[in-house]
Amino acid sequence: MKLFNTLGRQLQEFKPLQPGQVSLYSCGPTVYSYYHVGNLRNAVFNDTLRRALQANGYQVNHIVNITDVGHLTSDADEGEDKLEKGAASEGRTVWQVAEFYTEAFKKDVAQLNVLPPNAHSGAKDNYARATDFIPQQIELVKSLLDKGFAYQTEQAIYFDVTKLPDYGHLTGQKLADKEVAARPDVVTDAAKHHPQDFAVWFFASGHFEGHTMRWPSPWGEGFPGWHLECSAIIHATLGDPIDIHTGAVDLIGTHHTNEMAQTEAAYGNQLANYWVHNEYLLVDGQKMAKSLGNAYNLADIKAKGFDPLALRLLYLQAHYRSQLNFTWESLQAAQNFLNRLCDWADLKFQPAADKPGGQGQSYDAAIDKMKTALADDLNSAEALGYLSDLAAQSEEQGVAASQLQSALERIDELLGLGLAQRQDVDDQIKSLLDQRQKARQASDWHAADELRQKLSDLKIAVSDTPAGQLWRRTA
């Protein structure tokens, strides 16, 4: 299996630390608002990577964190805490806001068939919440101070980036270059040694005197900086180094660079051997922004009548390292493609379509090609091409319906499209479908049309193909 490693900027053969085992960590949501379609692309990317690894025989130990404290409105340790700001605007406590949007996130990704994390994080749902790892984060700060990589001011404890010679090597940018580019106006703590130094612990005083979330520490009450949690969680759950760390490209320059630095400084280990990042999602060719009214979430998608899995399919049609432009037209095209795949999947309910001989062997060949495509740096677009060809072949030649269910289950393991999970119909609809099939075989077109209308009244759309009669729910 090959993956593009941001560390080194090249396609590399994947070699796990332990044979047959993969430790995978994915940066999850900051739970102050709903996940939008750009965030959801990242969730589907993480899930596709995990499915591809599992299809290649690896046991994947996957951790996803929940940032419920410490993420400020600027990634450079400036502004308000996002949870505090959300609580103030919604008239709730920060704990209520965090819980509400955590549950909303879990429901959204479940509708996209995203597998939940499966490595033990200590939480009942295995999502690793930053607030559940405060003691571990305090220990990490202690280690950084003891080893001379951090220093204290009246406002915070900062990581000293000048103490780590290769700081920033994930981006390929030297610290001297960043120093030239840094604006002096972004430094609000005059006691910081360097503009790129980042906070690992904020004190509940001064600007953050009224901060609700606070914990005692050897240095005074406060709360952890955003970058700290991932290093502490990984160290406590998966151990470091891990095999793969994922996230969106906007995390490379600051968050992931700082994670990497503090882990190397505190533990003397590389944080991850492979860093894999997905590209931005644009909306109508523009960056998403609430002010533009284009920061759509899953509720917006469903409100317009789209299946959430059409959104997943749209993501899979582009390579994860390519920018993807979301439009309602492109989502409609993905919905049409999904409908066609569902029609094909529904052939397993049509005994008349089960033709002698079938095409079980072509199922196997096509699925092997899908696996090979995904093993090549997650080429999901190529995998979908093989799936489309397989469905078209079935429409032309008929299918071995008795073998189709097994093939669909294997395809779902790879792509998560839910094709094998479509529910059967009740006895009334089964009877009408059977009567219509017999009417067509007897060339009784009038009766077939009447039965089509009865099925339509029951919210079942019927179409006729060379492979047989297909149906799809319309509500």
pLDDT digit string, tens, across residues 422-463: 666 678 888 888 899 889 889 999 999 999 999 888 878 887
Do 317 and 342 lie in one domain? The reply is yes
- 322 pLDDT above the threshold of 90: yes
Q: In angstroms, what CA-CA distances link 302 with 35, 185, 454?
A: 14, 43, 27
Same-domain pairing of 12 and 40 = yes
pLDDT at residue 342, rounded to an integer: 87
Dist. CA 195–CA 160, nearest whole Å: 10
Residue 155 in contact with residue 204, Cβ under 8 Å?
no
Residue 465: the pLDDT is 66
> What is the Cα–Cα distance from 41 to 278, expressed in whole angstroms?
8
Opening angle at CA 370, ends 369 and 373, nearest 5: 85
Position 152 confidence tier, pLDDT thresholds 50, 70, 90: very high
Q: Who contacts 427 (Cβ-Cβ below 8 Å, separation ≥6)? A: none
Average pLDDT on 250-257 reads: 94
Contact (CB, 8 A) for 36 and 297: yes
Question: 358 pLDDT band (50/70/90 cuts)?
Answer: low
Q: What gap in Å lies between CA 5 and CA 32, rounded to an integer?
A: 30
Distance CA 263, CA 226 (A): 14
Give me 92's structure tokens.
């709730």
CA dist., res. 343 & res. 395, Å (int) = 10
Six token digits for residue 96: 């209520």
The answer to whether residues 266 and 329 belong to one domain is no
Residues 6+ apart with CB under 8 A from 415: 48, 51, 316, 370, 380, 383, 384, 387
C-beta separation of 43 from 114 below 8 A: yes
* Residue 348 pLDDT level (bands cut at 50, 70, 90): low
How far from the centroid of its chain's Cα atoms is residue 256's Cα? 17
Residue 284 lies in a domain: no
| Tokens describing residue 404 | 């189709």
Q: What is the pLDDT of residue 187?
A: 40
> Are residues 362 and 36 in contact, defined by beta-carbon separation less than 8 angstroms?
no
In a domain, 286, yes or no: no
The pLDDT value recorded for residue 186 is 42
pLDDT per residue over 60-69, tens digit each?
A: 999 999 999 9
* Strand pairing report for 324-326 and 281-283: parallel
Residues 6 or more apart in contact with residue 446 via CB below 8 angstroms: none
Q: Which one of 213, 248, 278 terminates a domain?
A: 278
Show which of 210, 245, 278 is a domain's final residue. Answer: 278
Give SS3 for 255: helix
Spatial separation of the C-alpha atoms in residues 341 and 472, rounded to whole Å: 11
pLDDT of residue 399: 65
57 DSSP assignment? T
Query: How many residues are listed for the chain in this entry?
Result: 475
Burial group, residue 451, by CB count within 10 angstroms (0-12, 13-18, 19+): buried
Nearest CA to 471 among 449, 455, 450, 454? 455
pLDDT band with cut points at 50, 70 and 90 for residue 181 = very low
- What is the model's pTM? 0.88
* Residues 396 and 433 reside in one and the same domain: no
231: tokens are 């290093």
∠ CA 427-429-433 to the nearest 5 degrees? 115
Shared domain for 251 and 309, answered yes or no, is no
Q: Are residues 203 and 246 in the same domain?
A: yes
Residue 287, domain member (yes or no):
no
- If we measure between CA atoms, which residue out of 236, 285, 261 comes closest to residue 121? 236
Q: Which residues contact 304 (CB under 8 A, 6 or more apart)?
A: 328
Neighbours of 253 (CB within 10 A): 15
Longest dimension (CA), the chain: 88
Count how many domains the chain has. Answer: 3
**CA dihedral over 213, 251, 125, 200, signed as positive or negative:** negative
pLDDT attached to residue 185: 40
- State the average pLDDT over residues 373-396: 92
158: in domain: yes
Task: Find where tokens 């700060």 sit.
Answer: 141
Buried b (16+ CB within 10 A) or exposed e, 328-364: eeebeebbebbbbbbbbbbbbbbebbbeeebbeebbe
Q: Over the stretch 16-34, which tens digit does the pLDDT of each residue have?
A: 999 999 999 999 999 999 9
Confidence bin at 182 (pLDDT 50/70/90): very low
Of the two residues 207 and 75, the one the predictor is more confident about is 207
* Bond preceding residue 116 cis, omega within 30 of 0: no
Do 194 and 161 contact (CB within 8 A), yes or no? Answer: yes
> What CATH code is carried by the domain that includes residue 339?
1.10.730
Co-location of 160 and 299 in the same domain: no
Q: Are residues 317 and 440 both part of a single domain?
A: no
Return the percentage of the chain with pLDDT > 70, whole number.
Answer: 89
Question: Tell me, what CATH number does 183's domain have?
Answer: 3.40.50.620
Residue recorded with tokens 């909303």: 104
Q: Say if residue 221 is in the same domain as residue 251.
A: yes
* 97 and 241 both lie in a single domain: yes
Question: Residue 24 corresponds to which tokens in the numbers above?
Answer: 């995978």
Check if the beta carbon of residue 6 is closer than 8 Å to that of residue 276: yes
- Does 283 map to a domain? no
Instruction: Give the pLDDT mean for 99-109.
Output: 96
User: Does residue 147 lie in a domain region?
Assistant: yes
Please tell me the predicted confidence (pLDDT) of residue 464: 76
Give the per-residue pLDDT at 474: 66
Instruction: Return the HEC string of 334-363.
Output: HHHHHHHHHHHHHHHHCHHHECCCCCHHHH
Q: Are residues 101 and 130 in the same domain?
A: yes
Its domain, for residue 460, covers: 427-473
Do 226 and 353 reside in the same domain of the chain?
Answer: no
Residues 6+ apart with CB under 8 A from 166: none
> Above 90 in pLDDT, residue 400?
no
Q: How many CB atoms lie within 10 A of CB 312?
A: 26
Residue 397 has pLDDT above 90, yes or no: no
Beta bridge partners of residue 463, listed in sequence order: 470
Q: Tell me the average pLDDT of the chain.
A: 89
CA nearest to 249, candidates 16, 3, 45? 45
3-state secondary structure of 205: coil
Considering the domain boundaries, does residue 285 fall inside one?
no
When comparing pLDDT for 23 and 294, which is higher?
A: 23
374 belongs to a structural domain = yes
Residue at a domain's end among 386, 404, 421: 421
